[in-house]
Structure 1
Amino acid sequence: MTQPPRSDRGRASRRQFLSLAGALGLASLAGCADRLPGTGPETIDGDALSDMVDDDAPTVPETLPIDIDASFIDEQRAAAQAKLDDVPAPFDADAIPNGVIRERLNDNYSSARESLRRASDAPTPYERLGAANHARTDAHEVSVAWRAIEDEVTVAALRSARSAVSDDVDAFIER
């Protein structure tokens, strides 16, 4: 007895199935998933979202493998402040005729002052130390530039100081 021919009506071929699956995948990747039959857009409860954003963002403290003593941060701040106290800033055209140099030194002076303020107000010791170090860097640049303008420092002296600082950093790292 022969079997009647099988009807393929209502059945998708393997090729048609893969084509449909690919089209659905592309549609969802393209952001069109809510346009497919049987799906809808995702919704968010507005009240819950509002409650979440009304609260202050949590402060995540930066951590180091060692504690940072407040006295060490105070020393960094004091060093920066001493350098700033030694210069007649903010500078005017009489003190520094070159406008570009004057503007840069005044910007560094302002940045150092702002960093000193942040070193007092920062929420974590790590951030206070970072601000104090930034203040020291800017204050040192202003101080050395002013001393060079006043002929109190030479390029040779700066190179010598740089070498000594590099040696100190290397010794510190080895410790």
Structure 2
Amino acid sequence: MNTALSRVNSVFAYNLTTLAALAVLVFLSTNFKDKTLETKISVASPKVRFDIERMASGPERKDYGVVKLDIEADLTDLFDWNTKELFVMVIAYYETSKTDINQIVLWDKIIQRGEPAKITLNQAKPEYRFFDDGKGLLGNENVTLQLSWNVIPHVGRLPLVYSNTYQIKFPTNYISGAM
């Protein structure tokens, strides 16, 4: 004869199996959906200035990129019944003589379910400073900006999706004055 503990264990195992099967069905229903969208990103008149920071070894010169971001993206179509939130970011990629791969996150935003998913920024300052640890921005003609996002689901994998790119050519002269 079954004891009360045995019956509780059977009900728990049945419910756990049912929830796992439902989670797999939710994953399969949204996993193969295309998560790419057409977006626009641009920068008007990028500039480079230098900042001197005192380090333990003495003053060191660092390039600081001055950019104003223009972003236009409608990410509403990325939300479905399995999407919890979006993590959207603008990443700058560039090469210098010292390092082959440099990546800097300039701007990011978390868009949760129920919030407006349209992004419109005009002449916006980046949230994070665009520093290079040497003189890698001055005269650099191959800085690429890219808008990308993580679709954070309730169940399933966490894809990182890349959108359109935008090339920046930094000038060969430093500017002075306030940022």
**Could you say which TM-score interval applies, normalised by the shorter chain?**
under 0.3
Greater fraction strand = 2
> Bigger relative contact order, structure 1 or 2, given CA contacts below 8 A and separation 6+?
2
Larger Rg: 1 or 2? Answer: 1
Q: Which has the higher helix share?
A: 1
